[in-house]
Structure 1
Amino acid sequence: MNRAAVVLAAGALAALGLQLPAAHAEPPTSPPIVGGTLATQGEFPFMISLSMGCGGSLYAEDVVLTAAHCVDGSGADTSITATAGVVDLKSPDAVRVKSTKVVQAPGYNGKGKDWALIKLAKPIDLPTLKPATDTTYNTGAFTVAGWGATAENAGQERYLRKATVPFVSDATCGKAYGDDFVPGDEICAGYPDKGGIDACQGDSGGPLFRKDRAGAWIQVGIVSYGEGCARPAKPGVYTEVSTFAADIAKAANGL
């Protein structure tokens, strides 16, 4: 299941051209960003909460990178509010900026290519998150963060949470998801043997990131989908940012 907020998944699914897999008919409950801990103020200044129930990262001061399944096509769009600068979404210090335009990945049809850009009405004066441009950092341990649900099919959290998830090979992920998994377009992370730590609904579009050799954060993935949250043998699936880095840059320049 794509990891947009369940309110979006249930209410606007048809508009997004998506369907809920039958495997989610009776999901078990699970903890928030599942197995995660609270992030501290300023720890991940590039994190963005989007009003449609998704997350994102600050790609440029006036552009948010998120998941294609979080938006409804490309074009002018002033309906989205991006919240930034805080871990507490109810903080009076939150920076809130409206969208002006959306670019959904060309050719997106619900499988692979799960990225989108949101143009903001004005810049947000916060650090951006550098995208990976090759596969150098598609390994090791990653951080995933978001305001996702405290249980499958529940609402979003007020406070930003984070978790550490290790790389999962394409072979293992392919066994978990069969033909739904698109090697090259997607990268997996989690604990397939035991589960217990994962992104969840409401984390869609948020970044999967790690430190580069210089000690700076670099984004390697975008929260895309998973069967349930933190289930054994079902790691999280993320859009592989390096695959689409050139397309994302071109789209951003067009904004």
Structure 2
Amino acid sequence: MKFLSTFKRCLAAGAVVLAAVSLQPTSASAAPPPVVGGTRAAQGEFPFMVRLSMGCGGALYAKDIVLTAAHCVSGSGNNTGITATAGVVDLRSSSAIKVRSTKVLQAPGYNGTGKDWALIKLERPIDLPTLKIADTTAHNNGTFTVAGWGAAREGGAQQRYLLKAQVPFVADAACGQAYDELVANEEICAGYNEGGVDTCQGDSGGPMFRRDTAGAWIQVGIVSWGYGCARAGFPGVYTEVSTFASAIRTAAANL
């Protein structure tokens, strides 16, 4: 894992590249640049969004299970050390729902390349809408929505408010020209060739989603990795959810 080169998009190594109020105060000279291609999400706009205490994002797969990235967790087994925050766009809100984990399941066979998904079992259900996952490649096209509390710029601080943006699908052939290490059958890319809008450090594990034919949100990707943040010619790389839909459902049923 190479920070600010190829890196996983977690707090420790590598969010939507948009500006907002930082969780930590900054001086005027160190403040993030103006908003880059996105806006602050409205309260309740994406009720399935979850912030995880290790510095990653996630989405409610079930009311008591969070779907996130494998690289956000250290392995599988009992784990009560993760806190999921949900129900708010402002992480400092007194209305935030906070629930601790009980178990973690990291994707079987995960070794740092591909298979970047994991499930976190919560100690109690969160009464919020869940996000269904794609089980075919029919939704691997068009424009996706990404959201997260990650950095507003490459190497920047985490954000207090949930930010959102839209990114277009990038075909495997084009994405493979940017990334030799792309696992085409397990990963999907999205972003603008000119850069400027992307996920970044702190957004790992969060969902990339779009509307299905019925108008409901459906998760197509999981924020995984990329070269820097919002760099021209280097789209974001996401776990292709449909590839692992069957495995995710089986794992969730046995968690």
Q: Do Structure 1 and Structure 2 share a fold, with TM-score over 0.5? A: yes
Distance 2:67 2:162 in 1: 18
User: 1:80-111, CA deviations, whole angstroms, 9 ceiling, x for partnerless residues?
Assistant: 00000000000000000000000000000000
AA aligned opposite 2:127: D
Alignment of 1:13-32 (within 5 A): none
Conservation of the 8 A alpha-carbon contact between 1:34 and 1:230: no
User: 1:126-161, CA deviations, whole angstroms, 9 ceiling, x for partnerless residues?
Assistant: 000000000010100000000011222222100000
Which residue number in structure 1 is paired with residue 213 of structure 2?
213
Structure 1, gaps ≥5 residues long: 11-28
Which residue number in structure 1 is paired with residue 86 of structure 2?
84
Distance 1:90 1:203 in 2: 18
Query: Out of 13, 20, 31, which is 1:9 matched to?
Result: 13
Conservation of the 8 A alpha-carbon contact between 1:90 and 1:158: yes
Which residue number in structure 1 is paired with residue 185 of structure 2?
184
Conservation of the 8 A alpha-carbon contact between 1:51 and 1:81: yes
Conservation of the 8 A alpha-carbon contact between 1:132 and 1:241: yes
Conservation of the 8 A alpha-carbon contact between 1:132 and 1:242: yes
1:44 paired with 2:46, answer yes
Which residue number in structure 2 is paired with residue 107 of structure 1?
109
Distance 2:52 2:149 in 1: 10
Which residue number in structure 2 is paired with residue 244 of structure 1?
244
Runs (4 or more) in structure 1 with deviation over 4 Å come to 29-34
1:31–1:73 distance in 2 versus 1, CA, 3 Å: farther
Which residue number in structure 1 is paired with residue 120 of structure 2?
118
Distance 2:63 2:135 in 1: 19
Conservation of the 8 A alpha-carbon contact between 1:129 and 1:217: yes
Percent sequence identity over aligned pairs: 69
AA aligned opposite 1:3: R
Distance 2:90 2:235 in 1: 28
Q: Match of 1:171, SS?
A: helix
Q: Name the one with the larger helix percent.
A: 1
Conservation of the 8 A alpha-carbon contact between 1:104 and 1:117: yes
Conservation of the 8 A alpha-carbon contact between 2:32 and 2:156: no
Distance 2:236 2:199 in 1: 7
Distance 1:156 1:30 in 2: 11
Q: What's the offset of the Cα at 1:238? A: 0.2
Which residue number in structure 1 is paired with residue 25 of structure 2?
none
Conservation of the 8 A alpha-carbon contact between 1:32 and 1:200: no
Conservation of the 8 A alpha-carbon contact between 1:34 and 1:198: no
Which residue number in structure 2 is paired with residue 173 of structure 1?
175
Conservation of the 8 A alpha-carbon contact between 1:56 and 1:207: yes
1:196–1:133 distance in 2 versus 1, CA, 3 Å: same
Distance 2:131 2:208 in 1: 11
Q: What's the offset of the Cα at 1:33? A: 8.8
Distance 2:172 2:32 in 1: 25
Which residue number in structure 2 is paired with residue 96 of structure 1?
98
Distance 1:110 1:239 in 2: 12
Q: Match of 1:56, SS?
A: strand
Conservation of the 8 A alpha-carbon contact between 2:68 and 2:118: yes
Normalising by structure 2, report the TM-score: 0.89
Normalising by structure 1, report the TM-score: 0.89
Distance 1:87 1:185 in 2: 30
Conservation of the 8 A alpha-carbon contact between 1:48 and 1:83: yes
Supply the RMSD in Å over aligned alpha carbons. Answer: 1.5
Conservation of the 8 A alpha-carbon contact between 1:149 and 1:202: yes
AA aligned opposite 1:211: R
1:224–1:91 distance in 2 versus 1, CA, 3 Å: same
Distance 2:227 2:115 in 1: 18
Alignment of 1:150-165 (within 5 A): 150-165=152-167
